Structure 1
């Protein structure tokens, strides 16, 4: 009996083990590159080195001296020196005309009555003195004005007093100082006061008035709360404020270098990061982290290629550090021929946070439908690889042999929390994405960042491990595209279709939900619009597949392969549309109404015949060089309203003019990407302006 029970127990264990093994799922621990080459990139990339770059450049917020503005800015020189020490031969600083910037010299705020104590000092924290503050030497009484709105100031005598507010310094200054003659502002505003009582938001005084600017100090939430409490109790507090500031001339400085490809005059991939965002705010994560990451990516790839551990890629990989927008725009404009050869841009803006500390993710921000490109899927590929190689699945807990540990010696062992997001601008990749430049560009970014644009953005918030992972992802993505042959190109194309199934599924799920929420009167319009979501997403996937052809040597063979993959995409689209139709028919059956008619309206038929083709004039003057032609065309045709009606969709309408998308396609693609539907007539009218301007033809 005991022996029989033992055998039964053993059989159960074997059965359960077999079932458990059968439930194991393969995770995505593969890459486009051979594992040996991927291991070289993983091993050589150093999160410690990247972190040390951040510490050198941004351990604290420095006061720049006049001599620095007159010569080479510290960060520019540091990047150049590091590149030269690595043996990068073409490292240089490109310079462009700059302008003048506000320069804080001194800012002291002392309480003089009823006690003597220092409240704020520019020397202690640069963010304590609002950028734009003018010279002052004032002794004045404090007065509490709440949020500092006009209604808060009514009935208060502010002349000659310094107002204390929870409002933003610039807003309160423009009302209290310029309209009611207050002497200055003390702001205790902090959108992060609940999470960091020491952090002060960086901000400046901006005014459109002819009256001279006065001054503003910012206090951290903890100290601000104490001051607010004293004023609320009716204490009379008098302070002495001293401000010294000036203006400094500067030039725009763009360190740059490259890893040359094997093919002369080859295509290029550009890695970028903004080195400056103004010259007062100096953020560790925003954006010394991005600069440090591409500096380490440059060292890693240069070292591996020069030592023969990585084959030299066919295409050139270029690196660009620049003042945000203001330095990237002239550099791009100065290299129109290079832009024609550039396949894509990968921009790193805030990539080093310890993610759990900021409740953050490493986000990949895709291109819009107007710039469909395989770089989106290559970047996503390495996000997934790095993340899944550094996590432990309960189903796979006995099989970690394929995992690749990507952890810095002094970094955390946290997972890589990430997500793939739709497009968002507000950084240098938008310069490349511009219609006049035409380089598809994506961005790597941490969000949320609890210390964004604040005095708390210091290296203690960063994690060498996450910096290492950002370096690996950026370096591997750039190298994969630079080295891609027909084999890698076909892999990329296949993965686009694989990922497309999820993206189409998302639009199907979105459509089903919107149909479910629609009432009987709304349903026809909602159903037609949600069909457009699926059609637009599928069209974008087909356009993305078309972009892969540029990586191929045998265009004819690759074209046939892409046609096969497009047929698979068409089947996915058809299946999704049928599923959505089923949801619509169920909704109408339950409501006792007829199914929705999806025949095109006369307006839609007309719009489907408008297929604008871009003209060479678009890129003749580079970044936004086409804007003058649009404004002139709108003026001469008397249709300025067509430009304003297009609104925020205008830039995307421009990009969607590829000689294949109709005006009706554009509406579907805009409605899929934007939260509010775009009127078809607005699109058609805007296209007419572009045609008059000579920018498109149809």
Structure 2
């Protein structure tokens, strides 16, 4: 079978109505990570997975006590909200659960019937006003909500309220954003619309009060993780398919749609002949649920370590209403894989919803983009140590409804959900059909075509103008991977990555001889591109040096490189250990959420026991395809060192005893 035929068959076999019904059912539940709502959703998913033909379907439960249990990951705290309200002048402004997202996660309960509390502006509290017994209104858009909550709690406040969407110009009038308090807090928290914040701020100036009521279930809930298996050819390898199950109601696209996409994939592939690797389906709370799965189940040998992984996070955004494109996110460059190339080819071969005027060219209402690794979902853990699994992740971005009350069922486009399912399921099915020589050849061609394009895209003139550097001038050189002067670095980096990607084609049944031939051809492409880049760089060298855009690596500390400690997979919540580091990171995430997250995680991945600070920073800039200033990189490395993730060691290439030092750094104690 050819790849195009496989994709057409998968597309035809999707039951869109069943997938949308799954989205609707999952979206009915408030899916906090250890709550009655997520347990109900997990039970539904387990039943649907069994109905789809998966074997050994299990709802694993893990303690939800806040203890550190899985490497650096803490278990969530059990928290099931029942109802909440905020009343002012006899009018109910907030009525949870009728108004989703209005109650901050982990809000503390009040006494039955509520409590009357005076209103107080954040700015007034900062000016010295007593916050004891008040509801503090965050009226400064520059202040991160966690900082407001921390200081309000320290000042004796009863509650906090904020408008986390205040900087958004594309919001709906009644749209509110997600807020989260620390588990075990004594505060209640509320998410407001712009109009509500204005009204209550004015009321605070008049010395008025509100009545706050929060009721939380007294019973406790564990954290559920759902797994099931579709057996393969008995070869012993396993392909992991994941979609996170959590988030407040409705969170239809993020991520009820991803949950439904995996259920649809199970139905599709369960109806096809068995072959290839076993398929392990995983539905879990984001990050922490996957950490528990990898640590307790994979780490103990109870389930197999995956050899490949696909993650689906936000599968059905209406491209017109949400403003989204289908994003195929590559795995990190230190764990290359053919999967993104195969996924892109599957997207290209999709049955067209429309065609050009002549009919020669297929057209799609929603675009498809291949993005570098940013690590904003569960594939960040699976691809990291100790699992180190090649991955690809499917999602949609941007999305004006993400993490807000507007992420409702009507924002899920059935046609776009079908498109995502087709691409993701076809990617998996192509690997599962690796015994078919024609299919394996098409997969090899897809990887070779992508790899050559990836190298050639590094040449000057092929790079789009990058987004402006988001943090302003910090007085240090900016490592700009898109500059003409960096073209030699880009070509070399891309050439190394694609060569390793081709090596992973063994998982797709591609013969070793074909892999070697493809690698040799790509080496020739890379060498030719390097020659062209060198000529362009020579032309641009003087101008770029004058701009300070091509700092060298000569300022490395002599004999010192950075090594990573054995703390397990990355944990975005434990990267900063000191109050100053947490404040710095929160400020940068508030300024540029996605870009800051990607830069920090890629800088961590650049630490390999061989690179010093500057070469690691350059690697991160090239891998993330984002400019990174020297000062920003140094600040991140210092932060990671204080948190225990990164340690300086002697360069193994310069010291005979450095290998022992490196091993000791990675495995302290």
C-alpha distance 121-507 of structure 1, shift in aligned 2 (>3 A): same
Q: Structure 2: how far apart are the matches of 1:177 and 1:544?
A: 50
Specify which of 523, 536, 541 is matched with residue 570 of structure 1: 523
Q: Report the TM-score when normalising by structure 1.
A: 0.72
2:582 matched to 1:582?
Answer: no
2:474 is aligned to none
How far apart, in 2, do the equivalents of 1:442 and 1:601 lie?
35
Give me the whole-angstrom Cα distance separating, in 2, the residues matched to 1:265 and 1:88.
18
Alignment: residue pair count: 587
Contact map agreement 1:59 1:459 (CA 8 A) in 2? no
| 1:281-360 mapped onto 2 (5 Å cutoff) | 282-303=250-271, 305=272, 311-333=273-295, 334-336=297-299, 342-360=306-324
Match of 1:540 in 2: 497
Q: 1:176 to 1:253 in 2, by over 3 A?
A: closer
Equivalent of 1:82, from 15, 36, 48?
Answer: 48
Q: Partner of 2:118 in structure 1?
A: 141
Separation in structure 1 between the aligned mates of residue 32 and residue 388 of structure 2, nearest angstrom: 38
Report if aligned partners of 1:494, 1:565 keep a CA contact under 8 Å in 2. Answer: no
**8 A contact 2:460–2:536 mirrored in 1:** no
Q: Distance in 1 between matches of 2:187 and 2:479?
A: 57
Corresponding residue number in structure 2 for 1:38: 7
Take 1:134 and 1:602, find their aligned partners in 2: how far apart are those partners? 51
Residue 18 of structure 1 is matched in structure 2 by: none
Structure 1, residues 15-50: CA drift from partner, whole Å, max 9, x if none?
xxxxxxxxxxxxxxxx95262x43321111122211
Task: Please report how far the alpha carbon of residue 428 of structure 1 lies from its aligned counterpart in structure 2 after TM superposition.
Answer: 1.2
Cα distance between partner residues in 1 of 2:464 and 2:315: 34
Q: Deviations over 1:197-245 (max 9, x none)?
A: 112112122389xxx62323222334444444x549x655332222333
Q: How does 1:465-544 map to 2 (within 5 A)?
A: 465-485=415-435, 486-509=437-460, 529-544=486-501
Question: Who is 1:27 aligned against?
Answer: none
Q: Which residue of 2 aligns with 1:638?
A: none
Give the Cα–Cα distance (whole angstroms) in 1 for the partners of residues 323 and 356 of structure 2: 22
Q: What are the equivalent positions in structure 2 for 1:71-470 lying under 5 Å apart?
A: 73-99=39-65, 100-112=77-89, 116-136=90-110, 137-143=114-120, 145=121, 148=122, 153-156=126-129, 158-167=131-140, 170-179=146-155, 181-191=156-166, 192=168, 194-206=170-182, 213-228=186-201, 230-231=202-203, 235=206, 237-245=208-216, 248-262=219-233, 264-277=234-247, 280=248, 282-303=250-271, 305=272, 311-333=273-295, 334-336=297-299, 342-386=306-350, 389-394=352-357, 397-399=358-360, 415-470=365-420
Extract unaligned runs of 5+ from structure 2.
Answer: 66-76, 466-476, 572-576, 578-598, 638-645, 653-657
Higher helix share: 1
Q: What is the Cα deviation at residue 126 of structure 1?
A: 4.3
SS for the counterpart of 1:327 is helix
How far, CA to CA, are the matches of 1:271 and 1:239 in structure 2?
A: 47
Measure, in 1, the Cα distance between the counterparts of 2:131 and 2:34: 35
Runs of 5+ unmatched residues, structure 1? 1-30, 306-310, 404-412, 515-520, 626-630, 632-645
Partner in structure 1 of residue 582 of structure 2: none
Checking the alignment, whether the CA contact within 8 Å between 1:493 and 1:548 is kept in structure 2 is yes
State TM-score, norm by structure 2: 0.75
In structure 2, how many angstroms separate the alpha carbons of the residues matched to 1:538 and 1:283? Answer: 40
Question: What is the Cα deviation at residue 449 of structure 1?
Answer: 1.6
1:390–1:416 Cα contact (<8 Å) kept: no
1:458 offset after TM fit, Å? Answer: 1.6
| Change in CA separation of 1:376 and 1:166 when aligned onto 2, cut-off 3 Å | same
8 Å CA contact 1:166–1:189 kept in 2: the answer is no
Q: Is the 8 A contact 1:529 1:671 kept in 2?
A: no
Q: Is contact 2:339-2:392 (8 Å) kept?
A: yes
1:368 is paired with a residue whose SS is: coil
The SS at the match of 1:451 is coil
**Structure 1 CA distance, aligned partners of 2:207 and 2:414?**
49
- For residue 105 of structure 2, give the secondary structure of its aligned residue in structure 1: coil
- Cα separation, 1, equivalents of 2:397 and 2:412: 13
The aligned counterpart of 2:70 is none
The residue that corresponds to 1:639 in the other structure is none
1:641 matched residue in structure 2: none
Q: How many angstroms does 1:601 deviate by? A: 7.8
Q: Which has the larger radius of gyration?
A: 1
8 A contact 2:603–2:616 mirrored in 1? no
How far residue 477 of structure 1 moved from its aligned partner, in angstroms, is 0.4
